[in-house]
Amino acid sequence: MFLMLCAGHAMGQAPESSQLWRVAATSLAVPPALQVGPLAMAWNPAAGRQSGALSGGLQIVHTSNVLGLSGFLGGITTSLGRRAGIGVALGRLDVRDLVRTTTSPSAVGGSIPVYTQYAGLGGQLHLGSFGLGTMLRINNEQFDIIRATGATLDFGIRWTPIARLTIAAATHFLPIDFSKQVTTDYYAGVEYLALRSLSIGSVAANVLARYGIGYRSYDALEHTIGAGILLGSVFGVNAAVTRESAFGSHEWRPAVALFLKVGRYAVDLASSSGLNDVGATYRVGLSIDFIR
């Protein structure tokens, strides 16, 4: 499979192994286009200016041994006045425990290096209720002695046409020449604040309903239905189920995430059944508002 992922490509597109980021995306209990926070711009470039004036975050992704993936996603965003912002995103995924063998199952030599990584620079512009963003990424991969590098340019929007309603859309690993590639994902989502200031004991809670869709260049679709409950600005729970459709088969994938914020610090914990139900995916993250 990984030999296929590392097939030849042009410099103006993401390497084939960037498709491994779809595994990391399975742990998102909020559709990618609707992500918020300092790491959100990695999924939607228009969402990078949702927290403090200077914010940063780091997330660790880990899968079961069936898939054997582990890695991280990090980023920093800052405001440029009231209407603009910029940010940097870094990501890397490694395939664990791949070894060389000969005629026996015993390992020969060291492990085989297999990874995909990127560094991205993004910017956002906010005009009232409408936000627009873009991110340029330099992508790199290695499979043993095979290496590849390519550049992508993503775009995103985030719009609140009326109170309580948010609409968002974004590309992920879009080739610079806008050609059709299997590495590209197209995301869209709608979020509605269904209940505002719902009294739960002495805490006011907000309940959100969400729908998201993801499209891949080989006619694969994902439909996500989810909800979230936020207790003030301190604690939140998000849950979603995603229906994967590709090559005539269908799978349902659940995901749940917890959010806890104390002062300038926020912690995220998430888990899902994983892509095509072949192994669980876990995510833990920490974000900090350095300047509010």
Q: What DSSP letter does each residue of 117-134 carry, written as one string?
A: EEEEEEEEEEETTEEEEE
C-alpha to C-alpha distances, 269 to 7, 81, 239, nearest whole angstrom? 34, 32, 12
- Distance, in Å, from the CA atom of 91 to the CA atom of 162, rounded to the nearest integer, reads 34
Residue 104 lies in a domain: no
Domain membership flag for residue 266: yes
Three-class secondary structure of residue 170 per DSSP: strand
**What does pTM read for this prediction?**
0.88
Residue 30: inside a domain, yes or no? yes
Residue 241: its pLDDT value, please? Answer: 96
Residues in the chain predicted with pLDDT less than 70, given as ranges, are 1-10, 48-52, 98-110, 219, 246-248, 274-277
Q: Give the pLDDT of residue 145.
A: 81
Domain assignment present for 113: yes
* Residue 137 falls inside a structural domain: yes
Q: Domain containing 146: what range?
A: 2-97+109-291
Residue type, 156: G
pLDDT of residue 175: 94
Of 49, 143, 43, nearest to 89 by C-alpha is 43
102 within some domain: no
Calpha distance 158→50 (Å, rounded): 11
The CATH number for 169's domain is 2.40.160.40
Structural domain total, the chain: 1
**Residue 127 within any structural domain of the chain:** yes
267: in domain: yes
The pLDDT assigned to 285 comes to 97
